[in-house]
Amino acid sequence: MHLIEVENVSKIYRPRRGPSMLLARGGFVNLFRRRRPEEVRALEDVSFTVDAGEAVGIIGANGSGKSTLLKLLAGVTVPTTGRVAVRGRVASLLELGAGFHPLLTGRENVYLNAGILGMRRHEIDAVFDAIVAFSGIEEFIDNPVNTYSSGMFVRLGFAVAAHTNPDIFLVDEVLSVGDEEFQRKCRQRIGELRGQGKTIVFVSHDLGTVNALCNRVVLLSKGRMMARGTPQATIEYYLRQIGREAGIHTFSSGQTEAVFCHGRVSLFHRQREVTVPTGLRMNVLCMGQWHPSGSADWLIEERGPDGCRARGRMSRLPVTLIWDLRLENDRLRWAIAVECEQDTTTPLINADVLLPTAYTRWTYGESLGDFPDIIPGDQNWTTVVTVDWNCRETAALPGPGSDLPPVLTRLEAHSPYLCLLWSNSDYVMGARALQALAQFPDSDQTLEAGRHELMTLHLDLGQSEATARERAEALKAERTIQIGPVAAQFERGGVSFTYDGKALTHTVHLHTQALIAQMWNMSRDLQWSSVERTGDRLEVSGESSRLPFRQHWEIEAAEGGVAFRVWLEAKEPLEVQEYNVSIGLKPEYARWETCHESGAFPPFDPTVKEWRHLNRSYAPGSYVRARGPALPTIALETANDDLPFRMTAINTGFEQHTRVLQAIYAPEQAQWLHFDPGRHLWFDGFVKIAPDTAPDSTGAPPRE
């Protein structure tokens, strides 16, 4: 039995729409006038059914009749002709907080609102606690709702609607309200409702969410039903066929076709959709709320066969997004500017490129990696790469067996606050997200009135995978010194070492740490400039975002390894408790030795989480060395006797599974190191790597 039946439904808004005075237009007077405004056909001859347990999405451009259809289903109005039959209780999430009385408390409003949605008092009693818990405003529940923030208001409204236990849920774009955390909660709740076999009718602009949540999609255009079917097929039809409408423009070049649709861009390559249905989009964060580009009002100012220029006026912000899209030789150029009507506070603006999970690997600057799988428990977006403010080139590579093209992206930043970042989306969206983030620091969050060029993203779909790899390799080579079989590569505050292509270092690699104001400052957390290379010498500096200092590293080829020199550049007087230079080594390293003693690295103990020093003598020394079976010997040595380091060997906790050689610079008890503003030599030494010569190192692996 169908839960919802819509049969040949038409809805015509008569010319006399809205309220009128007797003598005004549309009042009695019009009876005597010939001229009548035209009637509006919001829906024409729409028929479909929804069975129990289905999730049906309704998509279409603005003004295509989506909301009218939802109103008909909610029973708020009736069709002009045709029949709408609904069996079971309906709750529509389009009425968040409808009927909330501002003077009443949250508690009273919950009862009232739930009553309006058709619940009995005893039913509300049963779920009241769950509603309050879901809304997360326990402590305010007995305050009048006019003291609530708009976010709290909506949260409480959603909480009530989501707990009314109806048979049919009507959802209209609610997912675009509230903060990200709350949106996630909403999606999760809708997912749960699906899981409980509830019927859901979902109206949205967000094709991605429709695709993820719905198992059938109805496409409306100008009040007519254009298609219905699986989400993938219908959404694709929508993007490709209805391209001539106001907010949509299709353009192509080479094998690539792009569809601009109300603040989203979908890319197709050889007839295959490269992006997920949400496609390319933007978000502006303002007052804790995300404003997606898809909710803006878009106008295409200029269209051409190879691109378009569009302006999107944000609906709840005095901000207009200006996109200039050009396709040339399978390359999309996406230039983004924002125009503010007045000074606008925004800490964050981002542009996302959302790709399907068929893309399994990424390159980011010179690094390469695999995307972790997205599992059903993933409710948050997770960052896949470590942010590198200098990274301007990145790529997504398709997994084996996929015929999608690699997506090479280059960011041209017009703002100093931009960075690129790869993330995995939550499970519902199921996408690899390349995010170009403009993160404005606290002091500079206000965008002044006027136009701001933000960034230009170049997406290249025409390159082979090899090109993407070569680019990454070339960038990598730029940061690598080769000394015979030894290669030392700088990578974001660390130097990794390989011998004949075999990795010797692990996790943290060669790095520095400094204990300042009770906090360990890791070199990996500094913001590193791009590497300056002169022959076999690399120079790079990293700036702390929290404390007034920089580190300057010099890495240079030397006899049997690399010379490593660290300078501290303090801008203000700096008190340091202690600092060290460490190398994280593969767990295969079995033995260690210093000037004073030697020993074996014990096996890792699963119960141990902290780092454990293995040596007993802490007298200053000049080297610490590690050996392992079939591994070259690696040593951390100091070159400058003015800087007395204590050389130690360390086992990390079980999770990190790393052997560490560490040179510690620590003053006597209770005495701090004081650095005046200026440049100080911090570490001067070598990392030496030699083929294993010691006879005992291979023969005596540590006892397990």
Partner 1 sequence: MSQALYTNAQQHRLSRVIPDLIHHRELLRDMVWKELRARYRNAMMGFLWAVLQPVLMMLILTFVFGYLLPEMMGARLGSGGHSYASHLLCGLVPWQFLAVALACGTNSLLESQDLIKKVYFPREIIPIAAVLNCLVNLAIGFVTLLVVIAALEGPSTLGVGVLYFPLIFAVQFVLVIGIVLLLSALNVYYRDVSYMIEVVLAFGFYATPILYPLPKSLGALPVPEAWKPWFYQLYLANPMANLIPAYRQALLENQVPDAALLWRPAVLAVVMLVVGAWLFRRQAPTFADHL
Smallest distance from the beta carbon of 163 to partner 1, in angstroms? Answer: 14
Decide: residue 431, CB within 10 A, 0-12 exposed, 13-18 middle, 19+ buried: buried
Told to check if 72 binds partner 1 by CB under 8 A, we report yes
d(CA 661, CA 564): 15
Return d(Cα 62, Cα 57) in angstroms, integer.
Answer: 15
Q: Least separation, in Å, of the C-beta of 30 and partner 1?
A: 12
Shortest separation between residue 114's beta carbon and partner 1, angstroms:
9
DSSP letter for 28, please.
G
Residue number, 89 or 270, with CB nearest to partner 1: 89
Q: In the set 37, 62, 118, 345, which binds partner 1 (CB under 8 A)?
A: 118
Residues in CB range of 638: below 8 A, 6 or more apart: 622, 623, 645, 647, 663, 683, 684, 685
Q: Give the range of 98-106, 173-181, 332-340, 417-425 binding partner 1 by CB under 8 A.
A: 98-106
Choose between 98 and 246: whose C-beta lies nearer to partner 1: 98
80 versus 445: smaller Cβ distance to partner 1 = 80
d(CA 102, CA 701): 74
**At its nearest, how many Å lie between partner 1 and the CB of residue 100?**
9
> Contact between 75 and partner 1 (CB under 8 A)?
yes
**Which span sits near partner 1 by CB under 8 A: 19-27, 338-346, 673-681, 690-698?**
19-27
The alpha-helical segments, DSSP class H, found in 146-223 are 150-162, 180-195, 207-213
**Binding of residue 128 to partner 1 (CB under 8 A):** no
Quick check: 98 binds partner 1 (CB under 8 A)? yes
Q: Which is nearer to partner 1, 106 or 263 (CB)?
A: 106
Indicate the SS3 state at residue 358: coil
**CA terminus-to-terminus distance, the chain:** 66
Q: Please, is 703 exposed, middle or buried when counting C-beta atoms within 10 Å of its C-beta (0-12, 13-18, 19+)?
A: exposed
Residue 455 structure tokens: 């960034």
What is the closest distance, in whole angstroms, from the C-beta atom of residue 153 to partner 1 in the complex? 13
DSSP 158: H
Nearer to partner 1, 11 or 269 (CB): 11
Under rule CB under 8 A, residue 36 binds partner 1: no
Using the rule CB under 8 A, which residue among 66, 71, 471, 509 binds partner 1? 71
Among 37, 39, 62, 85, binds partner 1 (CB under 8 A): 85
Q: Which of 37, 51, 89, 500 binds partner 1 (CB under 8 A)?
A: 89
Question: In angstroms, rounded to a whole number, what is the distance separating the alpha carbons of residues 5 and 166?
Answer: 17
Q: Could you tell me which stretch among 20-28, 198-206, 468-476, 504-512 binds partner 1 (CB under 8 A)?
A: 20-28
The residues that bridge with 298 in the sheet, in sequence order, are 312
Residue with Cβ nearer partner 1 (176 or 424): 176
Query: What is the DSSP code (8-state) at residue 371?
Result: P
Cβ within 8 Å of residue 306, ≥6 positions away: 251, 252, 253, 326, 327, 328
Sequential DSSP letters for 136-147: T-GGGTTSBGGG
Of 40 and 368, nearer to partner 1 (C-beta) is 40
265, 334 Cβ separation under 8 angstroms = yes
Site for partner 1 in 604-633 (CB under 8 A): none
Per CB under 8 A, does 121 bind partner 1? yes
The reply to whether 90 sits near partner 1 by the rule CB under 8 A is yes
Q: How far is the CB of 164 from partner 1 (least distance, A)?
A: 11
Q: Is 31 in the site for partner 1 (CB under 8 A)?
A: no
297-304 and 307-313 as β-strands: parallel, antiparallel, unpaired?
Answer: antiparallel
Using CB under 8 A, which of 46, 50, 55, 74 touches partner 1? 74
Of residues 136-165, those binding partner 1 (CB under 8 A): 144, 165
What is the amino acid identity at position 583?
I
Among 8, 27, 233, 617, binds partner 1 (CB under 8 A): 27
- How far apart are alpha carbons 533 and 539 in whole angstroms? 6
> Pick from 20, 143, 379, 598: which binds partner 1 (CB under 8 A)?
20
Q: Work out whether 103 is an interface residue with partner 1 (CB under 8 A).
A: yes
Cα distances (angstroms) measured from residue 379 to each of 180, 280, 427, 436, 669: 11, 21, 6, 21, 47
Which residue, 170 or 454, has its beta carbon nearer to partner 1? Answer: 170
- Residues forming contacts to partner 1 in the complex (CB under 8 A) are 13, 17-22, 27, 71-72, 74-79, 82-90, 92, 94-95, 98-99, 101, 103-104, 108, 111-112, 115-118, 120-121, 144, 165, 167
